[in-house]
Amino acid sequence: MSLLTSIKWGALWLTGASLVSHKAPAQLAPALPHARVYTVQRGYYNVPQVALPNAVVARRINQRLARLLVQCEDPDAVDSLATLPRQLQQAKRASDFDENKQLLANSQGFIGCSYTVLLNQGGLLSLAYQCDFRWNQEASTTGHVTFDLRTGRPLRLAQLVADSATQLQRRMQAAINRRLKEHLAEITEEYGDSVTVAYVADRYGWDWATKSVGLTADLSEFALTPKRLLLFYKVDFQRINAPFQMDETYQFSYNSLKPSPLLKPALAHPTTNVPR
């Protein structure tokens, strides 16, 4: 091979290499948002708020959280257009003073709230929250909400799992039946009191003939953790009978469900500082 030919081949090789090296890089999917959750606090009122790259989405979520936690008992007691610290100040004042503006020895009504982050990854945020009350006795209500961090909208269960409501109800019914059957057996063994057993069975809608509950679980309330879907079967008990109340939370592994495309990215993310 002559020197000139070698130079020509070398030039062609370099041109090819240059063409290859200048190919456009593959387009990466946009990163899914992750919320920075912080607490706005006054006394026993602890309300979650979020910071996101998209301020409009963050504001939408924050307004919803304020409605769920601060305005849960008496919406007229607070100004929903006020800042959150101002709303908490108004809620506290409403619980500290009676209708004659006299300071109460013990706060009454809505006396506090708190929350737990269950999942914050893959573009989803799932929270549990609790509102505390005091009237003749103290009581609490709990709730759960899951947000799409891209839109700020609360999500329904049907948007996250492809399993039908009928399938989920059937699985919940079976899980409740197993748990309540064991629960009633434990009460019978511990108390041996047919009246107490009958009371608990009645509260849960237990049918002794079919060995099943007659009530339907409410699938509108749910929560997400990195490993499991949480569903709930809530039954109210007077505080004096609270020891007879069984765990209201039912956990279902995602491996036994059909996660939707909206949920799948959250399950593929590594997890930190949230319940499993």
Distant-in-sequence, close-in-space partners of 236: CB < 8 Å, separation ≥ 6: none
Tens of pLDDT, residue by residue over 185-230, are 998 888 888 888 898 898 888 899 898 988 788 899 999 999 999 9
- The predicted pLDDT at position 25 comes to 55
Domain 36-155 fold is Heat Shock Protein 90 (3.30.565)
Instruction: Return the higher-pLDDT residue of 59 and 7.
Output: 59
Tens of pLDDT, residue by residue over 68-83, are 999 776 677 888 889 9
Half-sphere exposure of 5 (CA within 13 A, CB side): 2
- The predicted pLDDT at position 205 comes to 87
Question: Mean of the pLDDT values across residues 157-174?
Answer: 95
Most confident of 76-85, 232-241, 257-266: 257-266
Least confident residue range of 28-37, 175-184, 222-231, 265-274: 265-274
Work out the number of other CB atoms within 10 angstroms of the CB of residue 174: 11
E strands, the chain, in order? 36-42, 45-51, 109-121, 124-134, 138-148, 206-207, 212-213, 222-224, 228-232, 249-253
Work out the number of other CB atoms within 10 angstroms of the CB of residue 87: 24
Dump the DSSP string for 162-228.
-S-HHHHHHHHHHHHHHHHHHHHHHHHHHH--HHHHHHHHHHTTEETTTTEE-SPP-TT-EEE-SSE
- The predicted pLDDT at position 107 comes to 81
The pTM (predicted TM-score) of the whole model is 0.82
Tens of pLDDT, residue by residue over 12-24, are 444 444 444 455 5
- The predicted pLDDT at position 140 comes to 85
Q: Where are the domains of the chain?
A: 36-155, 165-219+233-259
- The predicted pLDDT at position 239 comes to 66
- The predicted pLDDT at position 191 comes to 84
Query: Which tokens sit at 243?
Result: 């020891």
4, 147, 267, 275 from 225: Cα distances, Å: 69, 13, 9, 6
Most confident of 156-170, 204-218, 239-253: 156-170
pLDDT band at 99 (very low <50, low <70, confident <90, very high): confident
- Quote the Cα angle for 272-142-115, to 5°: 35
Question: Mean of the pLDDT values across residues 159-175?
Answer: 95
